[in-house]
Each structure stands twice: as C-alpha cells, then as structure tokens.
Amino acid sequence: MLAPFFAMIALTAVVTVILYSSRIPSIIKFWGKLQGAKHSDELRPKLSQAKRNITDNYNHLFELPTLFYATVIYIHLAEHTDTFHIQLAWGFVIFRVVHSLIHMTSNNVSYRALTFILSGLCLLVMIAREALALL
C-alpha cells in the first residue's frame, strides 16, 4: 500500500522539478525585477500556455491526491490493506501520471477529464470500501 503512496510523492517531485526548470531561467533573467510576479493573478497572464499547464498540473497534485494520501494512510493504519486496495491505489497513481503527461503536453481536456474521473473513481471505491468496513 505504501508503494503507490510513494509513487504519488515521486510524481509530485518530478512535476516540481519540471516546474522549477520552466521557471528558473526567467527568474535568473529578470532577477531584481520580479515584483510583478508576486501573486499568481499577476504572473499567470504573462506565462506561456505551456508554462501555465505545468503550473496548473503542479497545483492539481495538491488537490485530489491529498485525499488519496489520507485514505492510504488510513487503510494502512487500520490494517485493511488487501490486493484490491493495492490495485485501486496503483490505478489512481497510473491515471494521475497519465493525467499529468496529458496536462503538460497536449492538454487535451477530454482525455485529461477521463483520467481525472478514472483516478477519482479508484479513490472513491477505496473510500467506499472503508466506509462499508465501518458498518
């Protein structure tokens, strides 16, 4: 159960490196003149679409995946780890990896939405199984 948990951490780390690599050249170029970028509302319109996609994907990794982390920790601590939970957790991770790849490349919203829904369904089934276990 902890392997898919760490895989999500690794995905977030990879996207963080991509985000940094997309931003650091501009930070260096405009060093001392960055006050206009202090709030994302001011910076966002100035970014290329590709850089906005990277930023958006980075932000998305701190939304639904936070519920995934909490759910996996709960399942692990409750000692409810089983093959199906592990498969669902890996399904979540795989769909999130594909979501990130789509988001940071073609940004095809139809395919991105599909992977978002499928990852969410994996997570919802995990949560539902734990809710049923409480009853």
| Contacts of 83-91 spanning 24+ positions with Cβ under 8 A | 84/129, 85/1, 85/126, 85/129, 86/1, 86/3, 86/4, 88/122, 88/123, 88/125, 88/126, 89/1, 89/4, 89/5, 89/122, 89/126, 90/3, 90/4, 90/7, 91/118, 91/119, 91/122
Domain ranges for the chain, please list them.
2-134
Q: Per residue in 81-129, pLDDT tens?
A: 999 999 999 999 999 999 999 999 999 999 999 999 999 999 999 999 9
- Whole-prediction pTM value? 0.92
Task: Return the higher-pLDDT residue of 68 and 48.
Answer: 68
The CATH fold of domain 2-134: Four Helix Bundle (Hemerythrin (Met), subunit A) (1.20.120)
